[in-house]
Amino acid sequence: MTAKHAPKGKYWDEKIETMPREHIREYQLRLLQEELRYAYDNAPYYKRSFDKAGISPSDLGSLGDLKNFPFIDKKTQRDAQGVGSFLGELAAVPEDDVVFVSTSSGSTGVPTISPFTRQDFDEWQDVESRLFWQAGMRPSDRYIHALNFSLYVGGPDVIGAQNLGALCIWGGTLPSDRLIFILKSYQPTYIWTSPSYAWYLGETCRKNGIDPKEELAIKRIFVAGEMGGSIPATRAAIEALWGAEVFDFYGLSDIFGACAAQCEYHDGLHIAEDHIYVETVDLQTGELLPAGERGELIYTTLRKKARPIIRFRTGDIGIVNLEKCLCGRTHARILVDGRKDDMFIVSAVNVYPSDIEYTVREIPEVTGEYVVRVYEENFTCKYEVTVENATAGRISDGDVAARVNNALRTRCGVKPANVVVLPDGTLERSTHKAKRFIDERVTTKTHAESGK
Ligand SMILES: [Zn+2]
């Protein structure tokens, strides 16, 4: 398959990607009106939900009116799954029209399935091609797709790279020694994996006497699934290890394998606004926030046919930047910097584990590996951070702990109850998705988690 618009230069789809904001809004309004009507007429859940809320698709006269429509969340999806048919009440097509399903990780409960029609699948892959092109991939590149193919929505994204014309190696989740063998013998120029695994893989190469900078050809690394790709110090550490540029990608099993990605300016992730409408709402009240304010990100699909997604509460915390980017693209940039599920409250201050990562990765006296433990003492929420001393004893553990303590107090607004300092190499190096957050809370869990 060739690109719809035969890209020649900087953009995969220049007309769409550089559309003035006014035109984006007009385009989105038309698509949104159609999608709401389509969802209401074809998905039993939306008909019931809109009727119950006393609202009709024809009530959407402007984009701002979307705030009057009800939210859905993971629980809605789980409850609707299997009701009436295999695909459930949120689906808007018969099973015969569905060509692909992925499932969510199930990390917050029963996995939910995400169905795609042929058109949904092709449009998704066109967005993947666009995001790969945006991150510099060209037909002359060799790409190793090191994402899990099994049931996971990131798996088929490799087709977007193939459609772009790159030579693709369907790696998947290979054992590290096998992957390193392929990196060495096939010399791919691009790879996609998680930030933790990019770090682990680079370190493993070095331990095996292979310098990724000298002996491998990787020049760009896509990362997703964890916050690290948007944390400058984490990105810089991976870039220095590999001698490659790191691009953060963001996807949702409910929508696309990647919905948004960084451009060469790395200042937020351009989201495909011709497919996804983004809102930001207050975490507690669900009230719509102005663009640029930090809150929970809400997504609505504009073209999805198999299962339209209307006002999905992602649980991701971030901001939306509507300003035109230096790269010339006009599509909004999202910066996701926390998960509602992981937030904890200490002395009335909201703390996100990602804030702790930001802090720890910027302190040269520690290795960057860390574990956060959130626990309760006398029904009060407290947190403890474990780090590793990177100075080989030149600076005492006590001084390192004090440094970390001060930095955390500045960044998070509240200091940890304890900082544990261990020797370099003590904490477990993660392979794919790092488990750095231990939650032992019972009574002080935040409201946001109760429905999960
Ligand atoms: Zn840009």
pLDDT over threshold 50, residue 449:
no
Identify the weakest region by mean pLDDT among 9-13, 366-370, 393-397, 434-438. Answer: 434-438
* Exposure of 53 in the CB half-sphere (CA atoms within 13 A): 18
Percent of the chain with pLDDT over 90: 71
| pLDDT tens readout for residues 17-66 | 999 999 999 999 999 999 999 999 999 999 999 999 999 999 999 999 99
Residue type, 64: G
Cα-to-centroid distance, 270 and ligand 1 (Å): 7
Is the distance from CB of 37 to CB of 69 less than 8 angstroms? Answer: no
Provide CATH code, domain 343-449. Answer: 3.30.300.30
Cα-to-centroid distance, 12 and ligand 1 (Å): 13
Domain ranges of the chain: 1-338, 343-449
Rounded mean pLDDT, 217-236: 90
Cα-to-centroid distance, 234 and ligand 1 (Å): 20
Residue type, 388: E
Cα-to-centroid distance, 59 and ligand 1 (Å): 34
What are the start-end ranges of the E strands in 259-405?
260-261, 269-271, 276-281, 295-301, 312-321, 333-339, 344-346, 349-351, 366-377, 380-389
Bridge partners of residue 321, in order along the sequence: 333
DSSP element (H, E) containing 114: strand 113-117
Cα-to-centroid distance, 293 and ligand 1 (Å): 20
Cα-to-centroid distance, 269 and ligand 1 (Å): 8
pLDDT over threshold 80, residue 448:
no
Q: What is the mean pLDDT of the chain?
A: 91
pLDDT over threshold 90, residue 313:
yes
How sure is the predictor about 450, in pLDDT bands with cuts at 50, 70 and 90?
very low
Cα-to-centroid distance, 320 and ligand 1 (Å): 13
At residue 8, the pLDDT reads: 67
DSSP element (H, E) containing 410: helix 397-412
Cα-to-centroid distance, 324 and ligand 1 (Å): 8
**Nearest residue to 261 (alpha-carbon basis) of 130, 434, 166, 116:** 130
Cα-to-centroid distance, 418 and ligand 1 (Å): 40
Output the six-digit token pair for 258: 């990647």
Cα-to-centroid distance, 80 and ligand 1 (Å): 37
Cα-to-centroid distance, 321 and ligand 1 (Å): 11
Q: How far from 37 is each of 21, 43, 170, 205, 302, CA to CA, in Å?
A: 24, 10, 39, 53, 11
CA dihedral 16, 19, 22, 26 (to 10 degrees): -20
Rounded mean pLDDT, 202-226: 95
Percent of the chain with pLDDT over 70: 94
Cα-to-centroid distance, 327 and ligand 1 (Å): 4
Cα-to-centroid distance, 154 and ligand 1 (Å): 22
Cα-to-centroid distance, 309 and ligand 1 (Å): 26
pTM of the predicted model as reported, rounded to 2 decimal places:
0.84
How sure is the predictor about 310, in pLDDT bands with cuts at 50, 70 and 90?
very high
How sure is the predictor about 105, in pLDDT bands with cuts at 50, 70 and 90?
low
DSSP state of 150: S
**Strand, helix or coil for residue 158:** helix
Residues 6+ apart with CB under 8 A from 23: none
Cα-to-centroid distance, 266 and ligand 1 (Å): 7
At residue 358, the pLDDT reads: 83
Cα-to-centroid distance, 325 and ligand 1 (Å): 5
Instruction: Return d(Cα 158, Cα 160) in angstroms, integer.
Output: 5
Cα-to-centroid distance, 279 and ligand 1 (Å): 20
How sure is the predictor about 344, in pLDDT bands with cuts at 50, 70 and 90?
confident
At how many degrees (to 10) do helices 195-207 and 176-186 cross? 80
Q: The dihedral of CA 179, 184, 190, 196: what is its sign? A: positive
Cα-to-centroid distance, 224 and ligand 1 (Å): 18
Topology at the third CATH level for domain 1-338:
Rossmann fold (3.40.50)
Residue type, 226: E
Q: The dihedral of CA 229, 251, 272, 243: what is its sign? A: positive
Cα-to-centroid distance, 352 and ligand 1 (Å): 26
Rounded mean pLDDT, 176-194: 96
Residues 6+ apart with CB under 8 A from 377: 417
Cα-to-centroid distance, 259 and ligand 1 (Å): 14
At residue 167, the pLDDT reads: 98
Cα-to-centroid distance, 399 and ligand 1 (Å): 41
**Nearest residue to 388 (alpha-carbon basis) of 378, 380, 400:** 400
Cα-to-centroid distance, 15 and ligand 1 (Å): 15
Cα-to-centroid distance, 135 and ligand 1 (Å): 10
pLDDT over threshold 70, residue 387:
yes
pLDDT over threshold 70, residue 238:
yes
- Which tops the pLDDT comparison, 326 or 357? 326
At residue 447, the pLDDT reads: 40
Residue type, 399: D
Cα-to-centroid distance, 275 and ligand 1 (Å): 18
Tell me the chain's radius of gyration from C-alpha atoms: 22
Cα-to-centroid distance, 305 and ligand 1 (Å): 29
Rounded mean pLDDT, 122-136: 97
At residue 106, the pLDDT reads: 56
Cα-to-centroid distance, 260 and ligand 1 (Å): 11
Burial 353-371 (b: 16+ CB within 10 A, else e): bbbbbbbbbbbebbbbbbb
Rounded mean pLDDT, 148-164: 93
Cα-to-centroid distance, 240 and ligand 1 (Å): 23
| pLDDT tens readout for residues 394-442 | 999 999 999 999 999 988 888 999 999 999 989 887 665 667 888 888 7
- Which tops the pLDDT comparison, 200 or 45? 45
Identify the weakest region by mean pLDDT among 116-125, 158-167, 391-400, 407-416. Answer: 407-416
98-103/220-223 β-pairing? unpaired
